[in-house]
């Protein structure tokens, strides 16, 4: 805000005392000179407006022709975002859902908007989209969509460190997720994260055990992957990469083809933390065959680059990093990807590219703070400090190997070799 | 029929508002100061203003000041607004906005106009009326309330219902409402109390808006209905209390005439 601006310092009004959908623009508050962000929040605001109008009048009573005209005008404005910007695709899909006027699609669209905003660390945008989706779900009796929206809201509250409200929200989400296994798994996973973030480690463990039991009993391959992936994530958080690798490997057995790439990325990360670089490299290679570079694989691609640094191959690291940044440049995904920024920052520090390392790590720290990820924030801070102090003679070390590979890890490694043949 | 004040610099926007406000009157301002003057002097129900109407003036700041002066008169900012302006508009207290592209959709502008002129007073009064008042009676109260800012008199209301003054009086008795003259007096006073809550309006200006010859005449009307001077009633609670008293008079009327008429 300009120094003489009398409006800027005013407090934000309550959600029900302002323009419907307005809270999405609050993400601009601390960064109001950012033109790209200003355009992004404006488009989010405009996108949610037809949904608010539908909410006010009711789906049945809404003027379909008017809503379609509004959606069409918004579509014409999407050109303000780069053609490969992921949010542009999300908004386009949302506009289609608005034109369809189907409550289920509308809720899904709002949820996708919330996820996209959250991925960029825009908590106000994420909250408003999820709340709007939730209102529609409640009005139209869509319990499954309502639970998904509540899970997203719990994530926002966790990021704001309002653990009590997040816990309450996630219990509501779970209550409405009965009979919807995928939604339930996502909610339990969020509950684990809330428990971990608020220091209730035992509760997180209990949830992980219950998910592992459910995976044992499940005969649905898609659900089994979801359950085991959630357990593996929790194991990684717990600092047990061997158990994480073991669960991920079990999830890979019989996994539907669409889920294989994601699992391989997870597996590679666990193996890296076990110091099994050759095996991790193998997993990344198989992953890139299963899933050609895509938006979803940004984090994995950054970690693949880091692998090269871990093995001391500075040129290969630089090649992979440059290639990732070039592919990503128009989409801006790496910029907003916490894990990717951390991996690239650490990699740059390891090969002696301190200025780039500093940039990546500073971005990672910003993102981690916005998203309320205290562990990643302190990791980024520690790396930045190590860089600045020169304690490591100008170079960062590879991530510490968390555990020596045990029997399970060796079995996974052998399994990977066998898969390649 | 509501009166809308508008400050729109583009002809295309003025045409869009005119089409959307069909059935309402629109009065045009050429500047922010003129818009404020119009609202102060005329029975304006809602206002629409292009935030970029005056190139060297901060439109959002004008929206904020308008809201401070006339907190109960909705002002809908209109025009080309970017993310920053949206952020500032929300902080300035705007409750609605119409972007330039949205203003191309006639049905949307119409909807926005409808929402802006929907006087909250009507809902409060409808809620306070005795449950037994017939739907026709309720519709009549609503019609009378809408016509008060146009300086409507009893014969105008009788015309609107397609009958004579005496027919209207009989109908009011049957519906369990006060006489049309008394009803109009009450509705003018309630309108006045609502407007008087806005710091930008004075007893004199509100009296003029409601068709009274002077501020003293409005004070007399308030004394005839509520008793005392206007100042104690110039708050949200004062208005609530006034609506309760109006409803009590209606209830008394309903119990003595309406219930009997219902039995017959």
List CB contacts (< 8 A) between A77 and chain B. Answer: 101
CA angle B178, B182, B184 (to 5 degrees): 110
Is A5 in the B-facing interface, judged by CB distances under 8 Å? Answer: yes
Q: Using an 8 Å Cβ cutoff, are A158 and A166 in contact?
A: yes
> In what helix (H) or strand (E) does residue B205 lie, and over which residues does it extend?
helix B203-209
Judged by phi (left if over 0) then psi (alpha if -120 to 50, else beta), residue A48 lies in alpha
The Cα of A83 is separated from the nearest Cα of chain B by a number of Å equal to 20
Task: Identify the pLDDT of residue A138.
Answer: 95
Distance CA A60, CA A200 (A): 45
What architecture is domain A294-398? Answer: Alpha Horseshoe (1.25)
Give pLDDT tens digits for A67-121: 999 999 999 999 888 777 778 999 999 999 999 999 999 999 999 999 999 888 8
Q: Which of A321-330, A396-405, B89-98, B149-158 has the lowest mean pLDDT?
A: A396-405
Share the mean pLDDT of chain A.
87
What is the rounded distance in angstroms from the CA atom of residue B3 to the CA atom of residue B74? 12
How close is the nearest chain B Cα to the Cα of A139, in Å?
21
Q: Is the pLDDT of residue A263 over 60?
A: yes
Distances in Å between the alpha carbon of A25 and those of A56, A124, B105, B127? 21, 7, 23, 36
* CB count in 10 Å sphere of residue A286: 18
Our CA-based measurement puts residue A244 at a distance from the nearest CA of chain B, in whole angstroms, of 43
Asked whether residue B43 carries a pLDDT value surpassing 70, the answer given is: yes
Query: CA angle A269-A270-A274, nearest 5°?
Result: 115
Quick one: tokens of A306?
């880091």
Question: Between residues 34 and 53 of chain A, which touch chain B (CB distance below 8 Å)?
Answer: 37-42, 45-46, 49, 53
Would you place residue A393 in the very low, low, confident or very high pLDDT band (cuts 50, 70, 90)?
A: very low
> Which of A83, A82, A73 lies closest to A46, judged by CA?
A73
The complex's ipTM works out to 0.78
* Residue A17 Cα, gap to closest chain B Cα (Å): 7
Q: How far is B258 from B170, CA to CA, in rounded Å?
A: 11
Whole-number average pLDDT of chain B: 89
Q: Enumerate the CATH 1.25.40 domain ranges in chain A, comma separated.
A: 294-398
For residue B95, what pLDDT band results from cuts at 50, 70 and 90? very high
What pLDDT, in 10s, does the model give residues B166-200?
Answer: 999 999 988 888 999 999 999 999 999 988 888 88
Could you report the per-residue pLDDT of B47-88, keeping only the tens digit for each?
A: 999 999 998 899 999 999 999 999 888 999 999 999 999 999
- Using a CB-CB cut-off of 8 Å, the residues of chain B touching A66 are 105, 107-108, 111
Say which residue, A206 or B259, is predicted with more confidence.
Answer: A206
- And the tokens for B127? 């809620």
Domains and CATH numbers, chain B: 3-117 (3.40.50.2300), 120-263 (1.10.10.60)
Which uninterrupted H or E stretch holds B7?
Answer: strand B3-7
Query: Chain A contacts of B94, Cβ < 8 Å?
Result: 18-19
Alpha helix segments (H runs only) across A101-142:
103-119, 123-140
What is the per-residue pLDDT across A333-388, written as a single tens digit (0 to 9) for each?
A: 777 788 889 999 999 988 888 889 999 999 998 888 777 677 788 888 888 888 88
Assess contact for A118 and A155: CB atoms under 8 A.
Answer: yes
* Cβ–Cβ gap A8/B88 under 8 Å: yes
- DSSP letter string, A224-260: HHHHHHHHHHHHHHHT-HHHHHHHHHHHHTT--HHHH
């Amino acid at each position: 805000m300009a120094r003489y601006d009398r409006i800027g310092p005013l407090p934000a009004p309550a959600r029900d005392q302002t323009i419907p959908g307005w809270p999405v623009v609050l993400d601009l508050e601390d960064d109001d000179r950012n033109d790209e962000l200003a355009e992004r929040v404006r488009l989010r605001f405009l996108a949610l407006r037809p949904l608010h109008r539908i909410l006010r009048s009711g789906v049945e009573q809404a003027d379909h022709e008017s809503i379609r005209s509004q959606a069409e005008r918004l579509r014409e404005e999407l050109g303000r975002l780069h053609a490969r910007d992921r949010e542009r695709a999300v908004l386009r899909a949302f506009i289609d859902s608005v034109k369809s006027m189907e409550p289920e699609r509308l809720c899904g669209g709002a949820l996708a908007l919330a996820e996209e905003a959250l991925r960029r660390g825009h908590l106000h945008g994420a909250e408003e989209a999820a709340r709007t989706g939730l209102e529609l779900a409640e009005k139209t009796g869509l319990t499954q969509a309502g639970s998904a929206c509540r899970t997203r809201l719990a994530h926002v509250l966790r990021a704001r460190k309002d653990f009590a409200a997040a816990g309450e929200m996630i219990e509501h989400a779970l209550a409405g997720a009965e009979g919807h296994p995928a939604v339930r798994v996502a909610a339990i996973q969020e509950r684990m994260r809330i428990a971990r973030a608020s220091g209730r480690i035992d509760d997180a463990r209990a949830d992980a055990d219950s998910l592992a039991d459910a995976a044992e009993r499940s005969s649905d391959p898609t659900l089994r992957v979801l359950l085991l992936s959630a357990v593996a994530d929790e194991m990684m958080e717990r600092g047990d990469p061997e158990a994480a690798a073991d669960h991920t490997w079990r999830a890979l057995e019989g996994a539907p083809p669409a889920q294989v790439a994601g699992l391989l990325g997870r597996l590679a990360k666990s193996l890296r933390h076990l110091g099994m670089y050759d095996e991790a490299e193998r997993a990344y290679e198989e992953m890139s065959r299963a899933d050609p570079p895509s938006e979803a694989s940004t984090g994995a691609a950054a970690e693949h680059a880091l692998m090269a640094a871990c093995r001391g191959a500075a040129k290969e690291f630089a090649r992979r990093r440059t290639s990732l940044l070039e592919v990503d440049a128009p989409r801006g995904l790496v910029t907003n990807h916490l894990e990717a920024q951390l991996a690239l920052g650490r990699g740059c520090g390891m090969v002696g590219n301190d200025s780039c390392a500093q940039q990546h790590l500073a971005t990672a720290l910003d993102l981690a703070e916005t998203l309320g990820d205290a562990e990643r924030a302190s990791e980024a801070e520690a790396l930045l400090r190590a860089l600045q102090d020169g304690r490591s003679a100008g170079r960062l070390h590879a991530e510490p190997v968390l555990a020596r590979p045990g029997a399970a890890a060796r079995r996974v490694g052998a399994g990977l070799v066998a898969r390649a043949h | 029929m509501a009166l809308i004040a508008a400050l729109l610099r583009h002809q295309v926007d003025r045409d869009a508002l005119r089409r959307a406000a069909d059935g309402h009157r629109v009065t045009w301002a050429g500047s922010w100061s003129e818009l404020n003057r119009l609202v102060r002097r005329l029975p304006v129900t809602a206002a629409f203003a292009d935030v970029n109407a005056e190139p060297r003036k901060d439109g959002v700041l004008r929206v904020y000041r308008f809201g401070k002066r006339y907190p109960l008169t909705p002002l809908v900012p209109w025009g080309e607004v970017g993310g920053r302006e949206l952020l500032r508009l929300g902080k300035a207290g705007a409750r609605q906005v119409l972007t330039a592209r949205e203003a191309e959709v006639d049905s949307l502008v119409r909807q926005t106009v409808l929402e802006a002129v929907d006087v909250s007073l009507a809902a409060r009064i409808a809620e306070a009326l005795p449950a037994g008042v017939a739907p026709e009676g309720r519709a009549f109260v609503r019609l009378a309330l809408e016509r008060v800012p146009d300086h409507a008199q009893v014969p105008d209301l009788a015309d609107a219902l397609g009958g004579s003054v005496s027919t209207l009086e009989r109908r009011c008795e049957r519906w369990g409402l006060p006489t049309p003259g008394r009803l109009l007096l009450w509705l003018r006073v309630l309108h006045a109390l609502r407007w008087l809550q806005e710091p930008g309006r004075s007893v004199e200006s509100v009296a003029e808006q409601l068709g009274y010859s002077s501020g003293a005449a409005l004070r007399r009307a308030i004394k005839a209905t509520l008793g005392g001077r206007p100042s104690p009633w110039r708050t949200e609670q004062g208005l609530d209390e006034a609506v309760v008293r109006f409803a009590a008079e209606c209830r008394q009327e309903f119990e003595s005439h309406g219930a009997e008429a219902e039995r017959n």
